[in-house]
Amino acid sequence: MGDGDVLVTWPDYDVDGASTGARLRAAGLRARIAPKTGARTAGEVARLAAGAVGAIVSTDPFDESVFAAAPSLRVVARVGVGTDSIDLGAATAAGAVVTVTPGANRETAADHALALILAALRRIVEHDASVRRGEWSRTGTLTPWELHGATVGIVGFGAIGRAVCRRLAGFGVELLVADPARAAADGHRVVALDDLLRRADVVTLHAPLDERTRGLIGAPELALMRPEAVLVNTARGGLVDETALAAALDAGAIRAVALDVFEDEPAIAPALLGRSNVTFTPHIGGLSDRSIARMTEQATESVLAVLAGRPDRRTIANPDVLQGVGRWT
């Protein structure tokens, strides 16, 4: 396959794993390790990617300037399925294949969404803090709420949304689905987003982040929700206007929130911090020991496949790159 560097920004990538780093070395490639553990600018990514032929990445920003600074870059393998941090048009223009790891963390992400729904309704974090303070508040202001019998609205009915739906089936809930791309949803009622927001006790977000969905839940949408409603976001932070969300909590317009993702990760809006009715996790919805192994193995395979001239179209986020570009024709 030849000599070259592969930039690896995914934290804890196993450089000696038989299905990961060892495969890169066997192909004559060197792993250039630069784990993303906080915010990173496109300029920083451009410096890291210069001269690399491939990349196995976290949520690093790959814009036109990065591809211009790394003309040898032939493949960007995203560990996960979200590509909102990558300019797919710029990648295509540069002849760089962008791949994802479909299915590798679907069930894990659905587990986490359900965990956050239950944590918010059962007020797990609040009770944990209370017990640690030496209290025993079984009723009163910390009385928890029920999932059984609730109306749950699923916004986005892709693979993860459907997996969440399967898990909720055992809780005796009424399910509503809002997804403009679907007229039917496995027998569940498909409604307009506004209708879902008005009716749901729990709203859980599973939509991708793009130009159409950015700010999907803002002040007008939050105003539609019931005061007893809980909002859960394990999809992408940009779906929710965090300033409007804080204002809605201040006004008592919604009951509680659980967030795994944020608008400007890893920063969290100060107005949301310190609230007992907001549960936070650090964008770990799709992460587990097994899902990380699956995703890094798939990303490694994608890099090797693309560099060998045999890209797997099922994993490619910018399929147009395979048309009309010299290296692929």
Query: Using DSSP, how many helices (H) and how many strands (E) does the chain show?
Result: 11, 12
The token pair that represents 125 in the structure block: 């974090």
Band of residue 182 on the pLDDT scale cut at 50, 70, 90: confident
Mean pLDDT computed over 197-211: 96
**pLDDT above 90 for 181:** no
* 9-35 tens-digit pLDDT: 999 999 999 999 999 999 999 999 999
* 209-262 tens-digit pLDDT: 999 999 999 999 999 999 999 999 999 999 999 999 999 999 999 999 999 999
Residue 329 is predicted with a pLDDT of 39
* 52-101 tens-digit pLDDT: 999 999 999 999 999 999 999 999 999 999 999 999 999 999 999 999 99
Q: Which helix (H) or strand (E) holds 292?
A: helix 289-307
Band of residue 326 on the pLDDT scale cut at 50, 70, 90: very low
Residue 323 is predicted with a pLDDT of 85
* 115-133 tens-digit pLDDT: 999 999 999 999 999 999 9
Asked whether 282 and 56 are in contact (CB, 8 A), the reply is: no
**pLDDT above 60 for 48:** yes
Q: Structural domains in the chain?
A: 4-103+288-328 (3.40.50.720), 106-280 (3.40.50.720)
Residue 328 is predicted with a pLDDT of 46
Nearest to 32 by CA among 12, 56, 16: 56
Tell me whether strands 75-78 and 97-99 are parallel, antiparallel or unpaired. Answer: parallel
Active site (catalytic) residues: 236, 265, 283
Tell me whether strands 29-33 and 4-8 are parallel, antiparallel or unpaired. Answer: parallel
Residue 2 is predicted with a pLDDT of 66
**pLDDT above 50 for 314:** yes
**pLDDT above 90 for 108:** yes
Nearest to 317 by CA among 58, 101, 31: 101
Residue 324 is predicted with a pLDDT of 55
**pLDDT above 90 for 189:** no
d(CA 281, CA 268): 11
Q: Which residues of 230-245 are buried (b: 16+ CB within 10 A; e: fewer)?
A: bbbbbbbbbbbbbebb
Nearby residues of 148 by Cβ (< 8 Å), 6 or more positions away:
171, 172, 173
